[in-house]
Amino acid sequence: MLPTGTTGDRLVLGMAGGGDFRVIAAQTADSIELARLRCDLSPVAAAALGRALTSAVLLARLLDKQVPEQHVSLRLEGGGPLGPVIAEATIDGRVRGCVGNPQYEDTDCDVGLAIGTDGNLTVVRKSPPLMKPYTSQVRLVSGEVAKDVAHYLATSEQIPTALLLGVLNRPTGVAACGGIVIQSFPHTTTKTIEAVEKAILDAPPLSSLLAELPIHHAVARVLGSVGYKQLDPSFDIPIEYHCRCSREKALQMYRYFPPQELGEMIGGGTDTEAVCHFCGMRYIFTPDDLLGLELGTEN
C-alpha cells in the first residue's frame, strides 16, 4: 500500500450562472505525480492516466448515489500502443489506476493516438454492501478521454455535460492536472448553455491555468462572466492516491495459477516477486509461502 499523506489534491463543488449549472472540479496533480513515480509512467502515459483518474473522481461525485463507498472504474481500451487505461475512484476521493504499457513514449504526447479509438470505454459502478456492479459501455469517439467520457454521460446516463481535462507535464514531472465538469439542468436555457460554451472556448487551456491557480480560481477563470460560486470549502473532498493491495491479497493471486506451474515455483527453490500494477509495490514470496498456500488449498 502507498503511504497516505496530505496533498493539495481535492474535489470542489459549486454552481454557475446563478443556479443554471452544477459544477464539480478536481485538482489531481499530486496523485498523478505519485502514480508516475511509483509506476514509472512515461509523459504520455501520465497524461492519459491523469485524464482518466480525474474523470473517475469527477464521475464518482456526479453519479452520486449517496453511498459513502460508491466505487467507479473506467476502462479505456482503444487498441493503441499505450494499451488499456484503467482508473478507479471512490466518492470519498480515493483514486488509483494503471496503464498497459506504462513506458510507451510519444514525443508529441498525443493521448488520442496512444489510447486509440478501436474499442470501448467501459464504466463500472459498484455500491456497498452488495457491490453488485452496474456496467455501461460506449464506443470510444476520440481516445482523448474528455470527449469519450462526455459522450458516455450524454448517451448512457442522459446527463448533458461539458467536461474539461488538463494535464501539464514538465521534465521534472506532472506540474498540473485536473478537470471540471459542468452539468446543465432541464430549466437551463439554450442561451446560457451557449454562453458557457463560449466561455470555455475563450478560456486558456485548463492545464496552463492549473499550473498557476488553485482549482477553484481556475474554474472561476474558465467560466468568466457566466459567474461561478463555490460551495463552502468545508464541502471540499481531499483526493489521495490509495491502493488497496496487500501482501496477503498478492499471495492469494497464486491460487489461480495452474497447479503444475505453482509446483515448479515451489520446487525451484527461489523467491517469487509480484508487482502491483496500480502502485508499483513489490511483494516477495518464498517457496514456503507458496507451499502454505498450496497446502491451504487442499484443506
**Do 183 and 62 touch, CB atoms closer than 8 A?**
yes
Smallest distance from Zn ion to CB 149, Å: 24
- Please say which residue, 174 or 245, places its beta carbon nearer to Zn ion: 245
Give me the 28-67 binding string for Zn ion, x by CB under 5 A, dash otherwise: ----------------------------------------
Smallest distance from Zn ion to CB 105, Å: 24
- Please say which residue, 2 or 123, places its beta carbon nearer to Zn ion: 2
Position among 49, 279, 290, 293 found at the interface with Zn ion (CB under 5 A):
279
Give me the 224-243 binding string for Zn ion, x by CB under 5 A, dash otherwise: -------------------x
* Per CB under 5 A, 86 contacts Zn ion: no
Collapse the DSSP code of 292 into the 3-class scheme (helix H, G, I; strand E, B; otherwise coil) and give the result: helix
- Please say which residue, 189 or 252, places its beta carbon nearer to Zn ion: 252
Smallest distance from Zn ion to CB 97, Å: 11
- Give the integer Cα–Cα distance in Å for 226 and 241: 33
- Please say which residue, 3 or 267, places its beta carbon nearer to Zn ion: 3
- Please say which residue, 113 or 281, places its beta carbon nearer to Zn ion: 281
Smallest distance from Zn ion to CB 281, Å: 5
Q: At what angle do helices 215-223 and 190-202 cross, to 10 degrees?
A: 120
* Per CB under 5 A, 278 contacts Zn ion: yes
Smallest distance from Zn ion to CB 96, Å: 7
Give me the 184-223 binding string for Zn ion, x by CB under 5 A, dash otherwise: ----------------------------------------
Cell triple for 33: 505525480
Smallest distance from Zn ion to CB 242, Å: 9
Cα end-to-end distance, the chain, whole Å: 30
Choose one: 107-115, 165-173, 200-208, 273-281; the region binding Zn ion (CB under 5 A).
273-281
Q: Which residues contact 268 (CB under 8 A, 6 or more apart)?
A: 287
What kind and span of H or E run contains 99?
strand 94-99
**Do 53 and 214 touch, CB atoms closer than 8 A?**
no
Cross-strand partners of 228: 16
- Please say which residue, 63 or 281, places its beta carbon nearer to Zn ion: 281
Residue 203 CA from chain centroid, whole number = 24
DSSP state of 203: S
* Per CB under 5 A, 245 contacts Zn ion: yes
What number of helices (H) and strands (E) belong to the chain? Answer: 10, 14
* Per CB under 5 A, 276 contacts Zn ion: yes
Q: Is the dihedral of CA 144, 185, 178, 103 positive or negative?
A: negative
Smallest distance from Zn ion to CB 85, Å: 17
Q: At what angle do helices 259-267 and 287-298 cross, to 10 degrees?
A: 140
- Please say which residue, 76 or 98, places its beta carbon nearer to Zn ion: 98
**Do 14 and 230 touch, CB atoms closer than 8 A?**
yes
* Per CB under 5 A, 98 contacts Zn ion: no
Whole-Å CA distances, 128 to 53, 65, 90, 195, 246: 21, 11, 11, 40, 21
- Please say which residue, 75 or 96, places its beta carbon nearer to Zn ion: 96
Cell triple for 293: 498456500
Smallest distance from Zn ion to CB 61, Å: 23
Residues interacting with Zn ion, by CB under 5 A? 243, 245, 276, 278-279, 281
